[in-house]
Chain A
């Protein structure tokens, strides 16, 4: 039982390149989330998926797209990377039936855009 697995762990991109961050969970959770973490700003929600087949924007969705491929996998895509998207990206999942349940996080992807 690995929990939430994110790949890659590190990535360096050039401005304008595209990239997909992968996230998979093996806890049979319904809801999945993508956050970015910047110094002094906590975690900000980019997109979330309440259940398989649905996705919705969070607080900072501009410049990103997501795909809920199946119940296990939720990917985040940067179509044309910008230096402002340099950040640590965390994926999280939550069981879903009870909204007052904690989110479980992956180890993060450290993304640098030059």
Chain B
């Protein structure tokens, strides 16, 4: 089955700096890669996603890049703000008839210091 590794497990940055979180996946047929943000005690919420036919996607301060050859994808947050502090999860959906099943990374705790 699919295996997703996420790094780093914790990331501490100063307000205004950029933050990068990286994930690798094992199934070369995986074709959909969402990123979720989870604030303390809250539900995971989708912040951005990318499909395998696209190399990069941006939404304001957030971007995701995908390297299908190397089987890795990354989340980039620019001009970080204290409200960006949360746990971030990457996920991958295997190809074929997987009915949308996602395999999640272990999560990255991002702390943005004012």
Contacts and interface: CB of A to CB of B under 8 A. Distances in A.
Interface of A: 31, 33, 40-45, 48, 50, 56, 58-59, 90, 94, 96, 99-108
A94 B104 CA distance: 16
Contact of A99 (B42, B99, B104, B106): B99
Interface centre among B49, B51, B102 (most CB of A within 10 A): B102
Nearest to A94: B100
Q: Is the interface of A mostly helix, strand, loop or mixed?
A: loop
Contacts of A42: 6, 89, 104-107
27 contacts: A31-B100, A40-B107, A41-B106, A42-B106, A43-B44, A43-B89, A43-B104, A45-B103, A48-B101, A56-B99, A58-B101, A59-B1, A90-B43, A99-B93, A99-B98, A99-B99, A100-B32, A100-B51, A100-B100, A102-B46, A102-B49, A103-B34, A103-B100, A103-B102, A105-B36, A105-B43, A107-B43
Interface residues of B, number: 26
